[in-house]
Structure formats: structure tokens, C-alpha cells
Amino acid sequence: MVKTGIEGLDAMLFGGIVEGNQMMLAGGPGAGKTLLSFEFLYRSAKMGVTSVLFALEEDPQRVIANAKEAFSDFKDIDQLIKNKKLIIDGEDPATVLHSSTSGDNSSQYEFGKVVSDIESTIVATGAKRVVIDSLSVFDMLINDPVSYRRAMLALVSNLRRLGVTSILTAEMSTPERSKLRFRTEYFVFDGILIMYEKGEAEKRMLAMEVIKTRGSKHSFVTTPYEITPQGFSVLSAEELGL
């Protein structure tokens, strides 16, 4: 098992992510997907494991700045980056999407180029923990549902071949659990973790739920969480012994 380092989340996952599995992390805007993924890599880097985040929607420096602002107690982010244990890389989404406007062949080429860049970085750095944030760029690149599903199958297959344990984020159209709809291609992944908001108006609460994990058991309890300066605080029933 690969521990995320987030105790409540590891309890929900009954110990962590199965090594070599590719986990889909989906949710509505503002749920904290990028921050949770960053903390996973940060905790891994602190354990001495080379970890890479590929930012496909934001400038890498912006990702780092946002993480420092949210996790003000993480004082060693710069040192981990300097030591090349925590690597924040990225592609300019505007350039990728602009280059793909000439047709399907161009879109497939750009998808292949981005994936190739990701693979090259993994091989060059020897990374064992990977985050791709987010799959929404690929969704915009490939409009045909069948082609998109094939592309996701190829991406997951390549990550498995490289022997990494990864989290891939995806934007969902709503933060509300009752309105969530799961796309067929989500089930290509070994695990699915959903982040959403519950409640109404001023009583809204952030919560997460494990939909599936291949190769291990997991919690079926919808679990509240908070984002604190010390990292994510996940109040899992398993951790509390409930």
C-alpha cells in the first residue's frame, strides 16, 4: 500500500492506495482537488519518494504559490523542490488547445505529445508518485466519446507500464452529491474518489467518498473534511473507530 500521508484518507482507503494503481479524483469547482493531490505528493516527497505533479490547467508556479498559501505550515516545500524530490511541471493549456484547433488528427497529436512529455519526465526523474491535474484539458482536446475513452485507456495503461502510483484529477459539473453523474470512462481507473459539497447555503460542508478501489477494500462512509494550514483534516469513521 502507498500511504497518502493524510491519516483520515488512508483510513478510508484501508491503508492507502494500492501500489501501481491509478486513482481518479473528481469533484466540483473549489473542492480542493489540486490541493489534496499536492499534499499527497508533498507527503511522499518527505518520505524520500520522488514525486511529480503535471499542471495542465495552471502555471506550475501558481500551483506552488496556492499550496504555500493553503498549507502555511508546510515550510519545506522549496527545499523539497530544490532537492528534486517534489517536481512541479506543466504544459500551457492555451498553447495545447490552440494547436489542436485544425481537426481531429491535430487533437490526437497534441494529446499524444502531452502524454509523451509526461512519460519522459517520469522516466528522467525516476518518479514513483504522479499527479496529472487535470484531465479536463484532454476532454477539451478530444470531443468524440469513443476516442476519449480509448485515450484514457492508453494513458492509464502507460502509467501502469511505468510502475507509478498516480492521482488524476477531473472537474465535475456540480459540487453536489445528489446531482453527480459518472462518465463511463471514469471506471477505466483503478480507483475513484469524489469530493463534493453537502447541505444548503451557510450550512454547506465539504465531504469525500470512495466509489471504488481495485485490489483492496475501502470505506463506504461519506466523510467530511477541512483544508487547514497543516494539511487536509479528514474525519473518517474508520480513524475515529466508529
More confident residue, 174 or 56: 56
Domains in the chain, CATH or no CATH each: 7-240 (3.40.50.300)
pLDDT digits (tens, 9 = 90+) for 99-137: 555 555 667 778 888 889 999 999 999 999 999 998 988
Q: Whole-angstrom Cα distance, residue 85 to residue 83?
A: 5
C-alpha cell at 215: 485490489
* 104-125 vs 145-161: helix crossing angle, rounded to 10: 10
What does the alpha-carbon distance between residue 173 and residue 181 come to, in Å, rounded to a whole number? 9
In 17-103, alpha helices (H):
33-46, 60-70, 77-82, 93-99
- Determine the Cα–Cα distance for residues 233 and 242; give it in Å rounded to an integer: 17
What does the alpha-carbon distance between residue 192 and residue 23 come to, in Å, rounded to a whole number? Answer: 6
**Cα 25–Cα 28–Cα 33 angle in degrees, nearest 5:** 40
pTM for the predicted model, two decimal places: 0.90
pLDDT at 238: 67
The CA distances from residue 161 to 127, 188, 196, 198, 218, in Å, are: 13, 15, 31, 38, 25
